[in-house]
Amino acid sequence: MNPTSQFLGTTEYDYGYDENTAPCNEGDSFHRFKSLFLPILYCLVFVFCLLGNSLVLWVLLTRKRLTTMTDICLLNLAASDLLFVVPLPFQAHYASDQWVFGNAMCKIMAGIYYTGFYSSIFFITLMSIDRYIAIVHAVYAMKIRTATYGILASIATWVVALLISVPGIVFHKTQKENSRYTCSAHYPNDASIKWKYSFTLKMNILGLIVPMLIMIFSYSRILITLLRCRNEKKQKAVRLIFVIMIVYFIFWTPFHISSFLYTFQSLLFIPNCEIKGHLEKAIQVTETISMIHCCINPVIYAFVGEKFRKYLHRFFRKHVAAHLCKKCPNLYREKLERVSSTFTPSTAEHDISTGL
């Protein structure tokens, strides 16, 4: 049983083996990795994601005028990343010991985890579609790229993500296994294999394949349009979302591949303890890497978004540095004036819509 993969439902059972085969035991080094290193990593990811995405939400909300669909999507993407890491403190304790939070909390945390997982990629996909409409169909975009449509699309996205997460909520429960309490998916015995196959396929298709196909189509059309008009402003507008998309696939594709191989190992090759052990380690490592993804988007905003970076610079100069150095107010006043001169309300509204 892999305690840290309980929410994605990839390694709850040793299926695909003969009933008379002795169960495979994980090595001591792998057990130490899970019980010592993972809790520390989960806590660090939780702290950095909480700080980074909270800062993004603050910047977006203090603009007060979220006027386009891109504005709304950026706001919801940050909220999705925050939702995704809510279960991490619980998983940190679970990885080091056992599940002690009860059956209700097991289902709630599974639902939050799945909803954050699916909503994050859905909003990245929605942002790609929004950029496609804005650049390839610029005239039509003026009618639908409004805050109202953005809110409606966001509500629909959250509802879909929640509905997709329902099976994970229903089948997750606590159970005592090998003298320890676990929180994992337990499917009906008469259709256990089918449920596991369908669960992994759904995760791979909705979390990787379909979004990737939509984004490839969107950005290929966007690049063709940009090559024709060579509009530098439009190129900058695409850059942020393109980087967010690439980063997502870099961090999540290895995990999707590992989970697919693990689930369908009995159909792809002759399973044994050695292969199973390698796949479990691959899932553990790739899942650990994928969780870091939620900390990356705020960094992308800071490095790719020039005006976003200037706004943060202005905020820290005004509210942080000025309080830390009260003996030199003139110095900070001069710097604030220079920063303010490059960041006006009119440019703020435009920059947040482009993510720059």
Per-residue pLDDT at 115 exceeds 60: yes
Residues with Cβ < 8 Å from 47, sequence gap 6 or more?
none
Compute, in degrees rounded to 10, the torsion defined by CA atoms 348, 351, 353, 356.
-140
SS3 181: strand
For residue 93, with 0-12 CB atoms within 10 Å meaning exposed, 13-18 middle and 19 or more buried, which class applies?
Answer: middle
State mean pLDDT over 4-14.
45
Q: What pLDDT band is residue 13 in, cutting at 50, 70 and 90?
A: very low
Q: What pLDDT band is residue 217 in, cutting at 50, 70 and 90?
A: very high
Q: How many CA atoms lie within 13 A of 306 on its CB side?
A: 8
Give residue-wise pLDDT tens across range 143-155: 777 778 888 999 9
Give residue-wise pLDDT tens across range 221-246: 888 887 777 666 666 667 777 787 88
Per-residue pLDDT at 79 exceeds 90: yes
Q: Where are the alpha helices (DSSP H) in 230-344?
A: 232-263, 265-268, 273-291, 296-304, 306-315, 322-324, 329-341
Per-residue pLDDT at 103 exceeds 80: yes
Per-residue pLDDT at 8 exceeds 80: no
213: number of Cβ within 10 Å: 11
Give residue-wise pLDDT tens across range 22-76: 456 655 666 676 778 888 888 999 999 999 898 888 888 876 567 777 778 888 9
Please state the pTM of the whole predicted model: 0.80
b/e code 159-191 from CB counts within 10 Å (16+ = b): eebeebbebbbebbbbeeeeeebbbbbebeeee
Q: Which pair of structure tokens corresponds to residue 337?
A: 């004036």
Euclidean distance between CA atoms 243 and 256, whole angstroms:
20
Euclidean distance between CA atoms 132 and 238, whole angstroms:
9
Supply the DSSP string of 109-127, one letter for each residue: HHHHHHHHHHHHHHHHHHH
Of the chain, the end-to-end C-alpha distance in Å amounts to 44
Q: Where are the alpha helices (DSSP H) in 68-174?
A: 69-85, 88-96, 102-136, 138-144, 147-171
